Structure 1
Amino acid sequence: MTDSFARDILPAGSWDTANAADRITLDYEGRHRRRYRYRADNELEFVLDLAQTTLLHDGDGLKLDDGRIVLVRAVPEALVAVTANNTDALIKLAWHIGNRHLPAQLSAERILIRDDAVIVEMLRGLGAHVEKIVAPFTPERGAYAHAHDDHQTAAHPFVFTAEHAHDH
């Protein structure tokens, strides 16, 4: 059998998911790739073959070279929702998370991070409110993502990832 290749991403909302030939359900690491061999939920096998490492989003479509489309679904993961008493406190918590180069999903109300007991204890010590949740995780893209044309919306310019970590 000849491999099917996925070289094009159809952004979530730009295509009809009812037309998907199959779907693939992945965690954050599984959705952050450049080249990888996958087996979709209903056994369709294909090779993701992109020009650079890309973060796939829930609802994206991977267009195979034969025209079929594989729907990307983000699997819920064990996360921690970090909140604070006010915006200033939340911004300071975001700084501490970013200073440790942790992947983080940011919003005006909360920060989502992966569940890590040491980090959770540090955040509590800084006055954070933490709640363990299970949800899909789509952290902000890396600081150099613009240079690499990362597939992410421009509405989220803040960056907290280990991808481009450096020593202090």
Structure 2
Amino acid sequence: MIIESVIGNVATVEKRAPHVERVYLVSDDLVKRIQRVVTDHGNEIGIRLKENRELIDGDILYMDEKNMIVISVKEDDLLTIMPTSIQQMGEIAHQLGNRHLPAQFEENEMLVQYDYLVEELLQQLSIPYKRENRRVKQAFRHIGHRHD
């Protein structure tokens, strides 16, 4: 089976099939438009998305009256940063920006993929954080940039 488009997302569709097969992806694979995957039931699927979009957690790749195939994102090793002031947020955002490290935000937390140098920096700046395995909804996007 080759999937060329996403049908919808389980968070927004009203009609769902009773049986769900899952394709487990690491967050880095969400940006790949062409890939070969295997469901948790052992079925091999080719993904070749026509539209230029990233996959997100809960995307429905296939659905009929009885079955659906859904994307599930595996947990990432993350640093969850919890600044206590705008000063701390500014300091860590500036430092991470200088390193071109991608970040995501959920409520009052900044999420970055684990890096021991960032962990040392957080300790030096006395910024509260925790290291945890956690699912993210979308891929961490690396943004290309040059210093001239």
Task: Identify the TM-score tier after normalising by the shorter chain.
Answer: 0.7 to 0.9
Structure 1 SS opposite 2:33 = strand
1:44-81 deviation per Cα after TM superposition (whole angstroms, max 9, x unaligned): 211111135533222221137xx963111111121111
Q: Is the 8 A contact 1:84 1:127 kept in 2?
A: no
**Structure 1 segment 30-49 matched on structure 2, within 5 A:** 30-49=29-48
Structure 2 SS opposite 1:113 = strand
If you compute each CA radius of gyration, which structure gives the higher value, 1 or 2? 2
Query: Structure 1 residues 108, 68: closer, same or farther in 2, change over 3 A?
Result: closer
- Provide the rounded CA distance (Å) in 1 between the counterparts of 2:3 and 2:139: 27
Unpaired runs of 5+ residues, structure 2, are none
Unpaired runs of 5+ residues, structure 1, are 142-160
AA at the equivalent of 2:145 = H
- Are residue 12 (structure 1) and residue 10 (structure 2) matched? yes
Query: Structure 1 residues 34, 53: closer, same or farther in 2, change over 3 A?
Result: farther
Equivalent position of 1:129 in the other structure: 128
Equivalent position of 1:104 in the other structure: 103
- Per the TM alignment, residue 91 of structure 1 is displaced from its structure 2 partner at its CA by 3.8
- Are residue 59 (structure 1) and residue 38 (structure 2) matched? no
Structure 2 SS opposite 1:84 = coil
Q: Is the 8 A contact 1:33 1:53 kept in 2?
A: no
Q: Which has the higher contact order (CA 8 A, sep 6+)?
A: 2
Length-normalised TM-score, structure 2: 0.79
Structure 1 SS opposite 2:72 = strand
- Provide the rounded CA distance (Å) in 2 between the counterparts of 1:49 and 1:30: 13
Q: Percent identity?
A: 22
Equivalent position of 1:166 in the other structure: 145
